[in-house]
Amino acid sequence: MLKISRRAVAAWLSGQEPSRSNKVRLIEFGRMYQALSELVQPSAIGPWLERSNPSLQGSTPLQVIERGEGDRIWRMIWQLREGNLGD
């Protein structure tokens, strides 16, 4: 989902700092996870990411993020926070 190689993860686990672009990806995903966990139980986030969503024209949130369209998920989070359940 974050387009980070296994080699990069292994390097981090051995103490190497993530590259700037990977840091940005990790921070962004952390922010999104935190925002989602304020709306739903954290244990429900994983299944939600993998479930087809009519608000995303049948794509899963994971597919939307992988296509670089994370702003669509942020818009959805904003709408839920505002109590707007429509598209």
Nearest to 79 by CA among 62, 55, 57: 55
Residue 55 lies in a domain: yes
Helix (H/G/I), strand (E/B), else coil: 2: coil
Q: Report the pLDDT value the prediction gives residue 44, as an integer from 0 to 100.
A: 95
Q: Report the pLDDT value the prediction gives residue 9, as an integer from 0 to 100.
A: 87
Region 53-80: what's the mean pLDDT?
92
Q: Secondary structure of the chain: what % helix, strand, coil (to 5)? A: 65, 0, 35
Region 28-50: what's the mean pLDDT?
94
Residue 1 lies in a domain: no
Q: Domain of 31?
A: 6-82
- Which amino acid is it at 27? I
Residue 43 in this model has a pLDDT that exceeds 80: yes
Q: Report the pLDDT value the prediction gives residue 5, as an integer from 0 to 100.
A: 84
Q: Report the pLDDT value the prediction gives residue 86, as an integer from 0 to 100.
A: 58
Residue 60 lies in a domain: yes
Number of domains in the chain: 1
